[in-house]
Chain A
Amino acid sequence: MAWIVFIVLSVLCVGSVAAMILSRNAAHNALFLVLAFAALGGLFGLLDAPFAAAVQVLVYAGAIMVLFLFALMMFDLRRPAPPDKPGFRLALTLVLALVLLGEIALALARLVRGGGGPGGAPGHDVGRLGALLFTDYLYAFEITSLLILAALVGALALAGKKEGA
C-alpha cells in the first residue's frame, strides 16, 4: 500500500518537474511546480513527518507559489518566448546534470551501504519536534525570525520604490 502511494507521488513529482522543463509558459511552470510541491508534501507525510508535510503544503504550495504567480502578473507575458534552438548548450547541460546525478547517487549508495544508523524510535511526534526547536535550536529559531523581518523590509525597500525615485 505504502509503495503504491510512494510510486504515484514520486511519478507525479518527477513528471511535473519534467513538464516544467518542457513547457514554455511561465504561468504553467508555476502551476506544475504547485503540483510537484503538493506531491512532495505527501511524500513528507509518508516519511513520518506530518508537520513538515503541512508546512510544505501551506508555505510552499500555498504562499511561495502564490507569490510567484503574483510576480508573474507584473510581467508582460503576451509576447511568447521565442523557441530556443537546441544545441551545444543543451548537450552540455544534460552532461552536467547526468554527472551530478551519478555523483550524488554514488555518495548516497555509500551512505546507505554504510548502515542506516540505529533506526531508533520513529520521530513523528510533533511535540518532540517543538521541544527540540525551542531548546537545541533556539538560537537558530530566533535568527530565522530576524531573517524573515530583514527579507520583508528588504523586499519593501527594493520593490516599493517609485519609478525614477
Chain B
Amino acid sequence: MIPTAAFLALAALLFALGVLAFFVKKDLLTQFMAVEIMLNAGNLAFLALARSLGKPDGQAVVLFVITAAAAEAVVGLAIIVLVFRRRKAVRTDDLKELRG
C-alpha cells in the first residue's frame, strides 16, 4: 500500500503548481483552470487522509468540493464570456483600467 505521505506530497506539489500557473498565466481562462488544479490538489489530500483515517467523511467532502467547483466554473465562465463580449479581451494585460 502506498503511504499517505506520498499522496500528500503530490497534493502539495500540485497546489504549488496551480498557484504558479495562476500568477504566471495572463489570460482569464487559463487562470481559471489553475484554480481548478488547486481545488483538485485539495481533493487529493482529502481522499488520502480519508483513507489513512479509515473514515468516508473525506470522500463526502470531496463530492461537495466537486459540486461547488462545477457551480463556480459555470458562473465564472459566464462572467468571462460577458467580459469578452463587452471588452473583446480575455488577457489581463488588456483589462487593467482599475490599476491606479
Contacts and interface: CB of A to CB of B under 8 A. Distances in A.
Interface of A: 2-3, 6, 10, 13-14, 17-18, 20-21, 26, 29-30, 33, 36-37, 40, 43-44, 46-49, 51-52, 55-56, 59-60, 63-64, 67-68, 71-72, 74-76, 81, 84, 89-90, 93-94, 96-98, 100-101, 104-105, 108-109, 111-112, 116-123, 125, 128-129, 132-133, 136-137, 140-141, 144, 147-148, 150-152, 154-155, 158-159, 161, 163
Given A33-B37, A123-B50, A129-B59, A6 B66 contact: no
A21 B81 CA distance: 22
B49 to A, nearest CB: 8
B17 interface: yes
A13 B62 contact: no
Contact of B75 (A117, A123, A155, A161): A155
Nearest to B86: A163
Given A29-B33, A33-B37, A51 B10 contact: no
Contacts of A161: 82
A131 to B, nearest CB: 9
A97 B19 contact: yes
Given A17-B21, A51-B59, A151-B75, 10 more contacts: A2-B1, A10-B10, A29-B29, A37-B40, A59-B66, A71-B80, A97-B16, A123-B55, A155-B77, A161-B82
A3 B2 contact: yes
